[in-house]
Structures are given as C-alpha cells and as structure tokens.
Amino acid sequence: MLENLTGLMMSIKITDILDIGIVAYLLYRVFGFIQETRAQQLFRGILLIVGFSLVSELLNLSLLNWLLTRLITVGLLAVVVLFQPEIRRGLEQIGRRGVISSQFRDLGKEELYATVHKLVDAVDDFSSTRTGALMAIECETMLNDIIETGVVIDAEISVRLLGNLFYEGSPLHDGAVIIRGIRAYAASCVLPLTDRSNIGKNLGTRHRAGVGLSEVSDAFVIIVSEETGAISVARNGTLRRFLDLKTLEKMLLDIYIPSVENQNLFSRILKGGKKNG
C-alpha cells in the first residue's frame, strides 16, 4: 500500500496541483457568492433534486430519473433568470481592477482626506436635523445610466452644497446624489429599487433604492433616515444600519484611500474646522 501511495505521489505533476488549486478557489468563490445572496435556499433545493436523481438512477427508476433530470434543467434556468442582478454583480467583481477607482488615484491624498471630512460632516448634519439623504459614491462601475435620470451639476463637494441639495424645499431634494471622485456629479437621480423582502418592513423607498443600486453596481451608498436620523450604508447588496460617524469615516477612507499611511494628515484636516467647505 505504501508503494502504491508513493507511486501516486510521484505521478502528481505541478500542473495537477495548479489545476486542483484553481478549481478549489472557484468552488470557494461560488459557494461564498451563494451564501451572500438569495440563491442559497434554491441551491439547496437543486442539490436535493440532484441527490434524488442519482438515487433513482442507481435503483433504475427510469420515469422518476427522467422527471428529476428535467427539473434540474429548469432549476438552473431559474437561477439565471431570478438571480440576474446577483450574477451580474459577481461577474462585475471578477472584472474589476480593484476597489478604488482610477479617478481617485490621480488625486492628492490631502484632497481625498478633505472629501471624506466633508462627507462625514454633511452626514452628521443630516442625522442631527433628521434630513433624509441618499448619496452614491461611484467606484469601478460607471453610473452613467443612473446619472441620465437626474440633473448633472458637477460641483465641488461641500457641506453647504449637499445641505442645499437635500433641503426639503429644494427642487433636487428627491432622489440621490451621485458622487464621482471628489465632486457631486449629479442630483435628483432615480435608483433601482430592490425587490428583496428581508431588508426590513419598516424601511422606505430611500433604503430600498440604496440597496437596489448596490445590487447592480459596486457603488457605496450612504442613506440617512428622515424619520430617525439613523445612518445606513449599502454595498454589494448588503445594508448596514445604525452606523456611527467614526465607522462611516473609516469606511469612506477605505474607499478613497485603501492603504492609509498617514492618519495624522486627516487629523490635521479635522482640526481645520468641522464646518469647513
């Protein structure tokens, strides 16, 4: 037996190890993707049908095997049709170069820190005054189709600008603001609504729109509740609620500057005045 095991080990090539490694990684990513989406229960059902199909084939149950085989085909088609947003998001993630957009790489760190500072201050104001707000930061997936539904403003981000945009009397307060790099690029944009029912029955259109956009793009969506002032973030189809400003600040820094080398620079900017800009 030892000789057989030694012979088997000697017959394994580098390409075999590489092949196994790639397949294992792909399976890991597929299972991870399934766990993060609504496809988990449907996938379990398909596995159960496959199991029954194998048993029926072993027992020579021809009619049952034929029926289960057809059900598997229908199930795979159902996955493609019903979970098209999740599949699209997964394929987009494979094709992305990285989390941070190239438009951020061309900017100085001081500008990026200042932008994060302004966004955090604006969200702080919205939360304290219970002003409903919906802001989507464009990352690798371009949001041109979303921008076309709103009004292009292409203005430098400032606390005052964002406050005026989401002021209830403003003609642009309905809809979302799309942020491209360090600029508020468009306002009053219409976002796609999620059709999921497990994000909370007490959440309104603003939250459903934020989750909906995050399901079909890699945008980082910030939501402030008009009723409670609670701060939420939607990304990759996941909604995180009741965030504090420190957590939001860290998440924004991870987007604009993935490898933060000098936190002292951001601290100096913060000392320049909370309401600056």
pLDDT tens per residue, range 31-51: 766 665 555 666 777 778 888
Architecture of the domain defined by 102-271: 3-Layer(aba) Sandwich (3.40)
User: Does residue 104 have a pLDDT over 70?
Assistant: no
Beta-carbon neighbour count of residue 221 at 10 Å? 24
> For residue 251, what pLDDT is reported?
95
The label of the residue with tokens 């939001």 reads: 248
Residue 65's SS3 state is helix
State which amino acid sits at residue 243. Answer: L
The pTM (predicted TM-score) of the whole model is 0.65
E strands, the chain, are 133-137, 151-156, 176-180, 183-189, 220-224, 231-235, 238-240
CA atoms within 13 A on the CB side of 103: 11
Q: Considering only the C-alpha atoms of the chain, give the largest distance between any 2 of them, rounded to a whole number of Å.
A: 83
Average pLDDT estimate for 247-259? 88
Segments making up each domain of the chain, as ranges: 2-95, 102-271
- Do 245 and 124 meet the contact criterion of CB atoms below 8 Å apart? yes
Per-residue pLDDT, 167: 94
Q: Is 163 helix (H, G, I), strand (E, B) or coil?
A: helix
pLDDT(264) > 50:
no
Q: What is the mean pLDDT of residues 126-137?
A: 97
Across the beta sheet with 238-240, the strand order is 151-156, 183-189, 176-180, 133-137, 220-224, 231-235, 238-240
Average per-residue pLDDT for the chain? 82
| Per-residue model confidence (pLDDT) at position 275 | 43
Alpha carbons 177 and 181: distance in angstroms, whole number: 13
Residue predicted with more confidence, 277 or 3: 3
pLDDT at 109: 83
Q: What is the mean pLDDT of residues 219-239?
A: 95
Whole-angstrom distance, CA of residue 225 vs CA of residue 230: 5
Coil/strand/helix, residue 189: strand
Portion of the chain with pLDDT greater than 90, in percent? 40
| Listed residue (233, 244, 229) closest to 130, CA to CA | 229
